[in-house]
Chain A
Amino acid sequence: MFEHVFRGGYRYWLLVGSLLALITAGVIAYLVQYNQGLMITGMSRSVAWGLYIAQFTFLVGVAASAVMVVLPHYLHDYHEFGKITILGEFLAIGAVTMCPLFILVDLGQPRRIMNVFLHPTPNSLMFWDTVVVFGYLIINIVISRVMYESERKSVAPPKWIKPLIYLSIPWAVSIHTVTAFLYCGLAGRPFWLTAILAPRFLASAFSAGPAMLIILCLIMRAYTRFDAGEKAIGKLAEIVTYAMVINVFFVLLELFTGLYSDMPHHMHHFEYMYFGLHEGGEVHANLAPWMWTSAVLSVVAVVVLLIPKARRDLRILGPTAGVVVLALWIEKGLGLVVTGQTPDELGHVVVYSPQPLEILITLGVYGIGFLIITVLYKIALSIREVETG
């Protein structure tokens, strides 16, 4: 199956080349971090988790791309998705591969990573997250491999794969739930201490994952001979619409509980997020422009998606899916993790701003993920292009 990876037009090689360049830059930046330690990042005693863990949190969500096509296809016999289930699974593989990489680059002592397996600790949610994320990766690799082979040989897939596909559906729910549990079980972190965190993760995952899939389908429609079909893309758009509306609703629920209850420890974090907090005679509001952008983008996306005419117009849907991804990236990949630690446990505001090398390492990991997705999509398209022409 990998023979197709080394054949492609100049556009393919341009994409692969730029991703490899990005990865190289990220690896060099990581070598600096490996030698000097996490001092090269913007993290601190007060904000101990930054960009890396936030990307991990966001990408666990993107992995939901698989379940949102697998579920309608296998549980509701919605066969329009038949052509793209493997694309959803491949996107999930790319996203889920980035998750452990972001954990790895975040470790102070990466060489001791095996301690997690040498001393398995079931009372730590980190242990369970490792189990479910790696499990989800393996499940998706097996399913997509078997489905790809049977599609290539035009034979029916083996019977034993069905239970595994069914298992992948609740398993996808578990990766968001357990990742939310990392945060929402901590007594000292009122911003995260909310039972709606796991549902919020699910809602944003079910928007970001399919939105990413829409973007990829539209790119393939424009540049390759593979067409997912307007019906399938339209159904994905409906899924994104429902999930995004629920997502915005959940955020409003959080705001109401946090602000109406008027408890200072809850209020401070929201205040920091949207308006900034005072410390040492200064107002620290570095997140506020981002969070307002995210809020405005979310509302714009919901409004556009709710208008059937706009949603069905692929020229509008493409950018709207981009807006959904960007809004949710700001919310999960920047806002959630940092805000939960600002102010810190002693009530001080220590500002976190990601440093250049830290950003480069982050982009490098994204490079690896997107290279995996590119290569897997190339493989997936190769059989389809032979079929269609």
Chain B
Amino acid sequence: MADAAKTRRALALAVWIIGGIAIALALSRRWLPPLASEHGAGVDRMLHYSLLTTGIMIVAGHGVLGYVLWRFGGRDRIGFRMASRKTERRWSLVAGVCMAVVAEGGVLALGLPVWKQYFGSTAPANALTIEVTTEQFAWNVRYAGPDGLFGRTDPKLITLDNPLGMDAADSHGKDDIVSLNVLHAIVGRPVRIRLRSKDVLHSFFLPNLRVKQDSVPGMTIDFWFTPTRTGRFELACAQLCGFGHYEMRGVLIVESAEEWARWAEEQLHG
């Protein structure tokens, strides 16, 4: 039976240590990339709530399981009278209600308000609109220019030099600014993205801004966010789009209004 005692201790310790390492890993560093958007604070609050509650449950779960193995392992007869059906139902009810409060409470109180703010509302009127058209394996970026209107596009007009298929006959398109893989935004001013795709699914993922949205061919998807810090933030494709998926990198440059105006001027007349 010495063997059984060894297994009992080893297994109980393993369960405790594994749980401990999970918690230690969680606390060892700030895992989330540094935050740079307004609604992102709400996303982070949701994530931190989930980390905290599941952290507590991991401690409790591993603690209890390890304790049960330590205390009851290797005994030669059972130690308790049988649970009645009423006891069984009561325990299940307590566990179920606790979980419902923790899980649904989090969604309703912390989650969905942010979700609505981010997805369920139209962009504020002062938003800077940027059209992003994805293709294998690049981000085509377009600004409406001084007239505030995008020129017409048509897939039939796409050529190597005209990747968006812009219609030269449409005067609204004359002042459009077109670039590749680099987005310019203004700090503190909402950005509205019109997301389109030419070929397959892609996903517009700005880890620092807690922004992710698939681009879907055939759809124009509107969403918005507000950058809160200046800097260069990496844009990654998060939806498998082909062999160059891992190289489909873009950059969002968040700058002051003056810097942005200077850049836009250069694009129009430079």
Asked whether A and B interact, the reply is: no
Residues of A within 8 A of B (CB): none
Measured CB to CB, the residues of B under 8 A from A are none
